[in-house]
Amino acid sequence: MMNGLTLVCLAIVIFVCAYMFYGRWLVKTWGIEPDAKTPAYRFRDDKDFAPASRFTVFAHQFSSITGAGPVTGPIIAAMFGWVPAFLWIIVGGVFFGAVQDFTALYASVKNDGKGMGALIEKYVGHTGCKMFLMFGWLFSLLVIAAFSDIMASTFNGFSKTGEMMGPNASAASISMIYIAVAMVFGVVTRRFNIHGSKELILGILCMVAMVSLGIAHPIYASRTTWLYVTYAYCFAASIMPMWLLIQPRDYLSVFLLLGMILAGVVGIIVGNPSINMPAFTSFDVAGKPLFPILFVTIACGAVSGFHSLVSSGTSSKTISNEKDMLPVGYGSMLIESTLGVVSLVIACSVAVNGQLPKATPFAIFGSAIGGYFTMFGIPKYYSTCIVTMCVSALAMTTIDAVTRIGRMMLQEILAPEEGKEQGSVAKFLSNTYVATIVTLIPSYLLCLGGYMNIWPLFGAANQLLSALCLVALAVFLKMTGRKSWMLYVPMTFMFFVTMSALCLSIYGIYKKAMAGVFFPMVEGLQLVVALCLMFLAINVVRSCTKELFTGKVEVADK
């Protein structure tokens, strides 16, 4: 029987070696300019472009990309056995995900902090750009809907029978205090120029105070109420300057998330659990084939298209030195992959007779991590509150960033071609406040269908986005005279995997319709989104591959 500690240690060794050798090799191959002025300085507006320390940018990148995926994906994928899931996290994390995240950040920093859409317009063309932006905007609706439902459900203070759930209410209270404190933290550190160790100590003290105060004063409210609050938070995060809310919130979040990972690793080291799941079960489980389901079920932790939007949409605008790109882009992804392995080991260690407990992935993970916290003398109730807060933080740190990215994508879609004037309607919709509202309304309608109805489509769209980003980044590397062959296998594999998964999703909706279980506002909207995603993806790939094989090479910048 395989030992959980062996798996975690093996993964950590592989990830450290990947960072030290493969990551640094990419930097050396493509080249960086440590003395160059980054876009954060050249276009500084203290809203989107705001230079920050390496750890602050790392905190934003890591907090934003580490959503619910690294916990849910590996646990669900364990149905195929621990070996397929473990191998995909390792191979995907090192050669797919970390490469994509770093390359997207690298390409954006080298191109004035431009997002993926603008990069495609520069190296592929206007039509390909608009197609990609439409795809990315539709994808952002799925992300906001899925993670908002997760967050609201996590904060729900009442069970189905009406009983009050203290840990959920305390987690909600901590989160509300957390938002307010993050804003104050951002103002104070900026006003008094607090950086380095002083900022670190202040951040840890704030987290301890927030957790203590939230546990002492829980807020009991229904899922519906918290859904409204969540969308109000998304609106605020989209329009506020980066330094005022998102950056300090991510900085504080990183202590929670790294602490959760550390607790899991230490708990596995001390507990030395056995893997109680078979190494491999079957190529088809409950009608779900290993290919392509495994590769879209484990997204975050292996490769996730959403990460490239964070790298090029927000992180690239805050990088202070090009040397910071490796730890921020490549390093943060490997830490997320570590969380994926920890989640897999934890789930497999609590399995009984080769079967996972009858509970949600969050419940399985949270219960185990809560038990690990008690090993350090933290009472069970407090540990449950902390873990619940960590789970909600996974969702919170994703939805605020993706709302902002979705808003910016919509503004880019509506932007006029060079030399042309923007129409009055497009100008109105391009307003920051209006663009945010237009992004949030359809995502709310999708959210009404529930997290479980959205997740399969979200997973497929997310991985398809990674294929589009990888092929676009390959064009950037080729057009600037840099080696791009290391992206060819990942982009080709992910495209075929995800198109297959989307076809399965459409077939599933078709079967529901044939069975008479078809609701226009749920399955109908999902079908429209799925078909639009496939159409846009095929056109983006066609435009990019044409440039990849026929485009002229430019002079590479250093």
User: pLDDT tens-digit profile of 260-277?
Assistant: 788 788 888 887 888 888
334 pLDDT band, cuts 50/70/90, is very high
Residue 148 CA to residue 444 CA, distance in Å, equals 9
How many percent of the chain have pLDDT more than 70?
Answer: 95
Q: What is residue 267's predicted lDDT score, i.e. its pLDDT?
A: 82
pLDDT of residue 326: 97
Match 């759930």 to its residue by tokens: 165
Give the pLDDT score at 58.
92
- What's the CA gap between 265 and 533, in Å, rounded? 38
Residue carrying structure tokens 């990674």: 466
The pLDDT of residue 259 = 78
Dihedral angle at the C-alpha atoms of 301, 305, 307, 313, nearest 10 degrees? 180
Mean pLDDT of 431-450: 89
Is residue 369 pLDDT above 80, yes or no?
Answer: no
Listed range (140-154, 213-227, 518-532) with the worst mean pLDDT: 518-532
Higher pLDDT, 89 or 529: 89
**Widest pairwise Cα distance in the chain:** 67
Residue labelled with tokens 């975690």: 8
Cβ atoms within 10 A of the Cβ of 282, count?
Answer: 13
Work out the pLDDT band at 519, boundaries 50, 70, 90: low
Give the mean pLDDT of 56-71: 84
Separation of first and last alpha carbons in the chain: 50
Residues 6+ apart with CB under 8 A from 504: 292, 293, 460
**Residue 298 to residue 463: CA distance in whole angstroms:** 9
H-helix segments, 415-487: 424-429, 432-447, 451-479
Predicted pLDDT of residue 12: 95
According to the model, what pLDDT value does residue 163 have?
Answer: 86
Residue 65 has pLDDT above 90, yes or no: no
Q: Which of 23-37, 451-465, 516-530 has the highest mean pLDDT?
A: 23-37
pLDDT number for residue 434: 95
Name, in order, each residue with C-beta under 8 angstroms of 429's C-beta and a sequence gap of 6 or more. 410, 414, 435, 438
Q: What is the mean pLDDT of the chain?
A: 87
For residue 8, give every residue at least 6 positions away whose Cβ sits within 8 Å of its Cβ, in sequence order, or none.
265, 268, 269, 338, 341, 342, 345
Instruction: Name the band, by pLDDT with cuts 50, 70 and 90, for residue 509.
Output: confident
Q: How are beta strands 288-289 and 284-285 bridged, if at all? A: antiparallel
Domain boundaries defined on the chain: 4-550
Summarize pLDDT for 345-356 with one digit per residue, the tens.
988 888 888 888
Identify the weakest region by mean pLDDT among 107-111, 161-165, 339-343.
161-165
pLDDT reading at 486 higher than 60:
yes
Nearest-10 Cα torsion for 335, 355, 463, 538: 170
Distance between CA atoms of residues 367 and 41, nearest Å: 45
pLDDT tens digits along 428-437: 999 999 999 9
CA distance 315 to 59: 10
DSSP symbols for 341-400: HHHHHHHHHT-BTTB--SS-HHHHHHHHHHHHHHTTT--HHHHHHHHHHHHHHHHHHHHH
| Rounded average pLDDT over 513-538 | 77
CATH for 4-550 (3.10.20.440, 3.40.50.150, 1.20.1740.10, 1.10.1060.10): 1.20.1740.10
558 has a pLDDT exceeding 60: no
Pairwise CA distance, residues 17 & 11, whole Å = 10
pLDDT of residue 428: 93
* Residue 297 confidence (pLDDT): 86
- Give the pLDDT band of residue 359 (cuts 50, 70, 90): low
pLDDT of residue 518: 67
pLDDT computed for residue 557 by the predictor: 56
Q: How sure is the predictor about 555, in pLDDT bands with cuts at 50, 70 and 90?
A: low
d(CA 304, CA 160) in angstroms, rounded, equals 34
Mean pLDDT highest for which of 7-16, 296-305, 381-390? 7-16
DSSP state of 299: -
How confident is the model over 59-78, as a mean pLDDT? 84
Residue 313 has a pLDDT of: 84
Answer whether residue 556 shows pLDDT above 60. no
Q: Which two tokens stand for residue 393?
A: 């933080």
pLDDT digits (tens, 9 = 90+) for 186-196: 899 888 888 88
pLDDT at position 303 over 90: yes
Question: Tell me, what's the pLDDT at 371?
Answer: 74
Share of the chain above pLDDT 90, in %: 39
Phi-psi group of 481: left, alpha or beta (phi > 0 → left; psi -120 to 50 → alpha; rest → beta):
left
Residue 449 in this model has a pLDDT that exceeds 80: no
Q: Sorting pLDDT into bands at 50, 70 and 90, what band is 81? A: very high
Q: What is the DSSP letter of 124?
A: T
522 has a pLDDT exceeding 70: no
**In sequence order, what DSSP letters do the residues of 205-247 get, joined into one string?**
HHHHHHHHHHHHS-----HHHHHHHHHHHHHHHHHS-TTTTHH
Give the pLDDT score at 93: 96
Would you state the pLDDT for residue 451? 66
> Is residue 279 predicted with pLDDT exceeding 80?
yes
- The letter for the amino acid at 37 is K
Instruction: Give the span between the Cα atoms of 313 and 410, in whole angstroms.
Output: 13
Strand-pair partners of 3: 274
Assigned token pair, 233: 């938070």
- At residue 531, the pLDDT reads 86
Lowest mean pLDDT among 90-104, 375-389, 497-511: 375-389
Q: Identify the CA nearest to 175 among candidates 150, 194, 146, 200.
A: 150
pLDDT tens for 160-215 read 778 888 888 988 898 899 899 999 998 998 888 888 888 889 988 988 898 889 98
